[in-house]
Structure 1
Amino acid sequence: MMFYAFRLYTPKLSFQLPDNFKEILRYSAYIILAGSAGAIILDIDKVMIPSKEVVNIAAYYAVAVFIGSFIEAPSRAMSQILQPLTSKTLNENNNSEVENLYKKSSINLLLIGGLFFLLVNCGVVELFKLMPEKGYSEGVLVVLMISVAKLYNMFLGNNGAIINNSKFYRIALPIGVGMALSVYFLNNYLFEFFRTDGFALATLITILIFNTLKIFFVKAKFNMTPFTNKSIQLILVILCVFLVFYFWNFPFHPILNILFKSILIVVSYLFMVLKMNISPEIDNLIKRFIK
């Protein structure tokens, strides 16, 4: 990757500080601190659990969180593309293209994340049957709540890139700190009622509230939202497929059950997505493989 990148663009070394190095340092400090505060949202649970439960519960919880977080994998790859594109369009004051990226990234990430969400949650009960050790099966609700939180993150599209690459980047720090503090206090409060499930619920509530605030912030500053006329339709498709397959299983071995259910979920989900023309980009990609 390094050699390929150097072939495309050879960097020029300079040992002089740029004229705006103070602004660069200030920006870097804000983004690093904001990212650090946001990163502890899931990790703080693993630190707090041993002080309230036996240590092995933290391991079971960590496995459930990892499974629920899996659906976010596609957004990490897409963010590598969206970050420079968003930065470029913002610097060019091309708000129409920023809004276009905002809406396209939202619907496409929700579409892909929705499929991963369905595959994970509709097969997690059978997956835990393959791990009969006491404790793993109690993580079903944790997987569901964490995956809902991650799906909502994906629904925001390049919202974070818009904030971080604009002149309003400073708001990222108080949002990150607010999320970390909210998770900490909600963990302590909800644990009394829901035990370890309360930690996942605290994470879900925090992400729902602060991500919604980020949507309103971008709306107020840029007059744009991630919603399209297809957003509600796609959410209803995800919900319908979830309700059909979550409570129903084949009377087979867990591995065969997961396999057959996954095939049915993928076929039915993609059929509805194609039929409703949810995303032209995904439609063209699927049709190219079908042909």
Structure 2
Amino acid sequence: MNAKASQSILTTAFSYVGVAIGYFNLLWLMPYAMSPEQIGTFRTVQDMALLLVPFAQVGLGNGITKFFPRLHKHHFSFLTYSLFLTLAGFLTVSLIFFLLNDSIIKAFSSNSAEILGFLPVVLVITLFAVLNSIADAFCRSYYKIAMPTFFREVLIRLLLGITFLLYLMEWITFDQLMWGMGFAYGITMVGTFAYMQVRKIFGLEFEFGELPPTFKKEFLRYSFISLLATTGALLIMKVDSLMVSSMIGLEANAIYTIGFSIAIVIEMPRRAVSQIAMPLVSEYFSAQEHGKISKLYKDLGVSQAFICLLIFIGIWANIENIYAFVPNKEVYEAGKWIVLIIGGAKLLDVLFSINSEIILFSKYYLFNIVATVVMAIAVIAFNFWLIPMYGIEGAAIASFLALLLFNMVKYGFIAWKLRMHPWSWDLLKIMILGAFVFGVQNYIFDGYHAGWMNLVLRSSIITVIYGLGAYFWKIAPTMQATIKEKIKGFKP
């Protein structure tokens, strides 16, 4: 098994371990230890901080991935240069944040005044998260993505879970819990930099003059444009939560957050694949190997859709079982339709494969400005329009519509300029198989009571029928051949 495949497998494994811990934290520990208003406060502060990260980073993460292959040496000078730019970006964002303090207070004072005492925590999380994102980008450029994923997906959730337990046992106050969230992000950042040091891919060198002036100019220009592209994707992840808090209240955001977090697991395979796909796409564009990019576009679309649709079916088929174990379920199960809508949006995103990565690393990366402007306007406008009409379901529908529009614009551009598309007969087969499996399990388990037995039996039936259907219908033969080879590799 080659190093890249090993990193991808480990990354996926760590991602799902993180999801399991996150599920335990969010679906049981947080509702048991905290009130809905406190959960809403926690997530609003966290989302606000993470929404600031790409602005403080100034898009450098993607710039590092794109320009790293062009540097045959001076990597540590490049790292130091990037860290200085990031700190400058953070200071700028902090200044703007303080200047807008009155506007922030006005926006949240009516329905979510509790968050106003934790605005400093927002900046602490932003600082640690943005520095960690730079370390992450350099690890990704060296194809060292597994351990950074462990720190980002597993360790931070473990630390947050410990913080919730300390609060549950009344060893700390809620204020200390909120500051503990910032502490958890700090430990994650330190862990990533320590890993880089151990792997000998970290060092501070101040020979910025060794970086060609034209290189620095291109790097900064590309990073700024990348910032605009990244912001659009993050807006759809975070702005709906903030707008729910502002327009409805913290309890509504807690209900929305739990539903959203259940659904978000659907896209975890895509995130793991993207970590490997980005440097590959960058390399292929540098070598002008468009045929390999086109093949990657289709192959990853099929493999991602196959896994993500199975997860989507498993979650929605078990939605009553999942909510049955949530403390105060009578409060939170109002968000189950959020799971369906957001889950559908994430599945839709997966079907369009790696269109964002392709545009980002092509010579047409400027188009990301257009796509992001469309996205930003759409997601905010849809939320303002739909939240007053449909409440938290309106926020979910707004995210779905914005993501659909975002992907259609990017897909159309790639088809026009690069003559590539992600569609194949295997994708259609996967969707037909998924509809069949969902119908069969729904018929078999109609009337069953929610609980552990229902969850285990239903999930087993779904997995077996889905797997057998894919095998006998010969869906994704390349992926099946790879799996068979991996299985053979484990035989004595």
Q: TM-score, normalised by structure 2?
A: 0.55
Structure 1 counterpart of 2:306? 111
What is the aligned counterpart of 2:225 among 21, 27, 30? Answer: 30
What is the aligned counterpart of 2:292 among 97, 101, 123? Answer: 97
Match of 2:344, SS state, is helix
- 2:395 corresponds to 1:202: no
2:373 & 2:433 partners in 1: Cα distance? 35
- 2:196 corresponds to 1:2: yes
Map residues 45-194 of structure 1 onto 2, 5 A cutoff: 45-131=240-326, 132-194=328-390
| Residue correspondences, number | 290
Structure 1 counterpart of 2:414? 218
Q: In the alignment, is the contact (CA less than 8 A) between 1:191 and 1:198 conserved in 2?
A: yes
Highest CA radius of gyration, 1 or 2? 2
Higher relative contact order (CA 8 A, sep 6+): 1
Q: In the alignment, is the contact (CA less than 8 A) between 2:324 and 2:450 conserved in 1?
A: no
Instruction: Tell me: CA distance 1:218–1:125, structure 2 relative to 1, closer, same or farther (3 Å).
Output: same
Structure 2 counterpart of 1:43? 238
Match of 1:118, SS state, is helix
1:100 & 1:55 partners in 2: Cα distance? 46
Q: In the alignment, is the contact (CA less than 8 A) between 1:156 and 1:226 conserved in 2?
A: yes
Q: In the alignment, is the contact (CA less than 8 A) between 1:146 and 1:204 conserved in 2?
A: yes
Q: TM-score, normalised by structure 1?
A: 0.91
2:252 & 2:442 partners in 1: Cα distance? 25
Structure 2 counterpart of 1:240? 436
Gaps of 5+ in 2: 1-194
What is the aligned counterpart of 2:462 among 251, 265, 276? Answer: 265
Cα drift, residue 103 of structure 1: 0.5
Cα drift, residue 14 of structure 1: 4.4
Match of 1:277, SS state, is coil
Percent pairwise identity: 28
What is the aligned counterpart of 1:15 among 208, 223, 245? Answer: 208
Q: Which runs of 4+ in 1 moved over 6 A?
A: 9-13
Q: In the alignment, is the contact (CA less than 8 A) between 2:353 and 2:422 conserved in 1?
A: yes
Instruction: Tell me: CA distance 1:165–1:71, structure 2 relative to 1, closer, same or farther (3 Å).
Output: same
1:238 & 1:212 partners in 2: Cα distance? 23
Q: In the alignment, is the contact (CA less than 8 A) between 2:318 and 2:458 conserved in 1?
A: yes
Tell me which amino acid in the other structure corresponds to 2:481. Answer: N
Structure 2 counterpart of 1:279? 476
Gaps of 5+ in 1: none
Deviations 1:220-263 (A, max 9, x none): 01101001121111111122222333574563451221111111
Tell me which amino acid in the other structure corresponds to 2:375. Answer: M
Cα drift, residue 5 of structure 1: 5.0
Q: In the alignment, is the contact (CA less than 8 A) between 1:127 and 1:255 conserved in 2?
A: no
2:338 & 2:474 partners in 1: Cα distance? 33
After superposition, the CA RMSD in angstroms is: 2.4
